[in-house]
Chain A
Amino acid sequence: MPLSKLSNPRPLRSFPTSKTYLFGENHKVIKEDRVASVQTISGTGANHLGALFLARYYRPPGLPPHGGVKLYISNPTWANHEPIFANVGISATKYPYYDPKTIALDMKGFSKTLEEAPNHSIFLLHACAHNPTGVDPTPEQWKELAEIFLRKKHFAFFDCAYQGFASGSLDNDAFSVRLFADLNVPMLVCQSYAKNAGLYGERIGCLNLIASTAGDGVGGKARLQSQLSVLSRVEISNPPTFGARIVSKILNDPQLFEEWKRDVKEMADRIIWTRETLYNLLTQKYQTPPLGDSGNWEHIRRQIGMFSFTGLNPEQVAVIVKKGHVYMTGNGRISMAGLNTKNIEYVAECIDKAVRGTF
């Protein structure tokens, strides 16, 4: 970008490199130029704009003209999802997702809801590193889910806040998104660079809508792009420059991109280290009795991303907070990012005491 363009009011425009990062440059939706993208105020802004676009324009057959769109969100999900949709007039129903007994995915309940929902319903999916549980479908399960989506003509609203940050591989973390796009499931994807690029406060994200064609024909990318710009203009005029320049530079400079991928892997690896270490401490050092019907502590290792649903119940959590001074939310969720070499043994000890009732 020429220096003379610095500090210019930027025209609203697409964020081309972000979608390539998301789908991979060889994905058909990229090659066929079918992704309408708009820079947003991080992931929240993308979720909001995506929700707003659906509220305005999602009119599948059989739906009354004024809307009445049905949205399903996972139980549980990020606390802000429901208010984001309510804010644009879409009320949410929860679909079974997390099974507290097995401390794992309730695939049966999830599939059943998908089958029983009216055709063309919108389902909010976490692309990877489910927030708050850390429980993700396996690739096989994603394929099963995609098959139901296609049969039921559901719309997939993907929230992708952790690409690269979850497993350390940006391709693996984008598996679900790329699969659904390849299978032509109607969908959009919200991206955030808050965590994977650590750009939190700079507010950099992107909303991507997949069109049926490039250009400005019916259902075409250009039409979607233009209406996304209109909606964005009425709320923010144009998105903030600084964070976007950073991400753009990284994505477009091969050397910086490689360096960034290493940085992201380093963060992901540290999180994975906390999982492995906590697991080892609980199973080997303390031999803490397993929770629920799980029979083990595998979920600590199997879950992915920043958060972990430990399986601790509210009473156990209360005791850990009060007696151990270890702070976590009442649903037993811990942020693995808060663990480090200095505190992980102490936390394992507290979990052990809480489970045994020996505080």
Chain B
Amino acid sequence: MMRAAAAQSTSPARASSPFYSRKVALSLALPRKRIFHNANYSQRALRGVSTWANVKQGPPDPILGVTEAFKADTDSRKINLGVGAYRDENGKPFVLPSVRKAEESIVKAKYDKEYLPITGFGEFTKNAAILAYGKDSTPLKEGRVAITQSISGTGALRIGAAFLSRWYPHAKTVYLPTPSWGNHTPIMKDSGLEVKQYRYYDKKTVGLDFKGLVEDLKAAPSNSIVLLHACAHNPTGVDPTKEQWKEIADLVKEKGHFPFFDMAYQGFASGSVDADAFAPRYFVEQNIPIVLSQSFAKNMGLYGERVGAFSIVTASPEEKARVDSQLKILVRPMYSNPPLHGARIAGTILADQELYGQWLGEVKHMADRIIGMRADLKKLLVSDLGSKLNWDHITNQIGMFCFTGLTPEQVAKLKSEHHVYLTNDGRISIAGVTPHNINHLAESIHEVTK
């Protein structure tokens, strides 16, 4: 079974290369013969014991599992409600017309592809900050907001976590709501932060456990880092009311907690970019220093282009400069500078009055479709199908996701008997609901819950 060294596998590329000599290859291959004498090694001996013998198979992505099961299903009524991306009324991906317009103008302009600065495309970051904080925001006007372009929301969270891990002067612990987006925990942990939880979702009411939230944040040591979903909580869709946000802000102030806002759905949740930014803006108005992760994946539909920003409200322009320099030091050994194309698109839209107005309309259109589907789904369950259960949470919740309250057993039945695919926690992506499939969905939910 011993292969004659490298002689059998001559690649034409190698054979034609003036630099390659088979004789040398054979002579260099000789050491392998010694390993082969131990019969146990067999095939592996040809390459020595594997360098990577200790690497285990990594866990499969749970969301991917849902999509794969959906793909394998041949029933024509099947619905995929695992997908975390917006779909139009025909279930198709939606590229925003304003994005297309911006993209066309960029391609036409034939810009070069030189490196962006480490903290990204200035036109984009400047306007991303205005979008998030509001143009009248005091720290913005005073030049105190440090901001860097990032690899979408994930990248922003990662830079933020790495920054806090290195520079936060108190305990390197972050409190996450229970539940939270699945990737939050590993992002924080890999950056060197310890992860703790605060109560958030109440299974019994299928709503916010505000009492538990307040208790847990009160009990946490002072100056703890607290991650807050600015709007459209992922995965529950359960958001605090304005009044509750104000109470949370008071508590954060009292305890000296440090808010890390994750804003992945500005505009996409309610249809209004200002309304959706209420929480972070309110905190800033209350002089609570925050850090903020922004994603343009959903609200601009720029998903794969990876457009995001991470910002820090600092005490002064001088502090901002220092913070900025440290952000650069964090970014450079990770990826040097961020990608060009998506930032140009987003920057073009944000900077052009007409395109910006067009974009606001398109975001509202997406949000309205989701809100409409929520209303229709609830109506079907309650009025048309006569479900005895309380489905208010479908319309109380906001954003792309809805925690239905279904149990894992009910979820399993939805998959096996009704060809409706969702994650085991009962979360559905309303973005996957369309006028074409909503009837089947409502009927299926009713069947497994009645």
Contacts and interface: CB of A to CB of B under 8 A. Distances in A.
B55 A223 contact: yes
Contacts of A184: 32, 46-48
Contacts of A139: 19-20
A155 interface: yes
A171 B13 contact: yes
Q: Kindly name the residue among B14, B47, B154, B334 whose own CB sees the greatest number of chain A CB atoms within 10 A.
A: B334
Contacts of A103: none
B169 interface: no
B303 A9 contact: yes
Given A146-B28, A201-B113, A237-B154, A242 B53 contact: no
A111 interface: no
A80 B59 contact: no
B55 A227 contact: yes
Given A200-B114, A235-B158, A242 B339 contact: yes
Among A11, A146, A179, residue most surrounded by chain B Cβ atoms (within 10 Å): A179
Given A143-B24, A178-B14, A219 B304 contact: no
A211 B158 contact: no
Interface stretch (B183-191, B207-215, B441-449): B183-191
A59 B12 CA distance: 35
B422 interface: no
A60 B58 contact: no
Given A41-B339, A234-B187, A238-B304, A186 B55 contact: no
Given A11-B64, A212-B50, A182 B333 contact: no
B335 A44 contact: yes
A168 interface: no
Given A202-B113, A234-B183, A84 B155 contact: no
B128 to A, nearest CB: 17
Contacts of B337: 201, 203
B204 interface: no
B116 A201 contact: yes
B322 interface: no
A68 B436 CA distance: 58
B26 to A, nearest CB: 11
A280 B59 CA distance: 60
A7 interface: yes
Interface in A1-36: 4-12, 24, 26-28, 31
B187 A83 contact: no
A227 B58 contact: yes
A186 B49 CA distance: 10
Chain A interface size range: 35 or more
* Majority-rule SS of B interface residues: loop
A193 B56 CA distance: 30
Contact of A238 (B60, B93, B306): B306
Contacts of A237: 151-155, 183, 306
A110 interface: no
A229 interface: yes
B58 A26 contact: no
A151 interface: yes
B54 A57 contact: yes
Interface in A226-260: 226-227, 229-230, 233-243
Contacts of B9: 28, 31, 182
Contacts of A57: 52, 54-55
Contacts of A12: 61
A327 interface: no
Contacts of A194: 115
Of A9, A146, A199, which is in contact with the most chain B CB atoms at under 10 Å from its CB? A9
B275 interface: no
Contacts of B44: 212, 219
Contact of A9 (B56, B85, B113, B335): B85
B305 A240 contact: yes
B341 interface: yes
B51 to A, nearest CB: 4
A42 interface: yes
Q: Which 10 A-B pairs have the closest CB atoms?
A: A219-B50, A226-B58, A139-B19, A241-B304, A41-B335, A201-B340, A26-B11, A212-B50, A24-B13, A242-B341
20 contacts: A7-B305, A24-B12, A24-B13, A44-B333, A83-B332, A87-B334, A153-B48, A182-B25, A184-B32, A201-B114, A201-B116, A201-B339, A203-B340, A211-B50, A218-B50, A219-B44, A223-B57, A229-B61, A233-B183, A240-B339
Given A234-B186, A237-B154, 11 more contacts: A11-B61, A41-B339, A183-B29, A184-B48, A201-B114, A201-B340, A203-B338, A212-B51, A235-B151, A240-B305, A243-B339
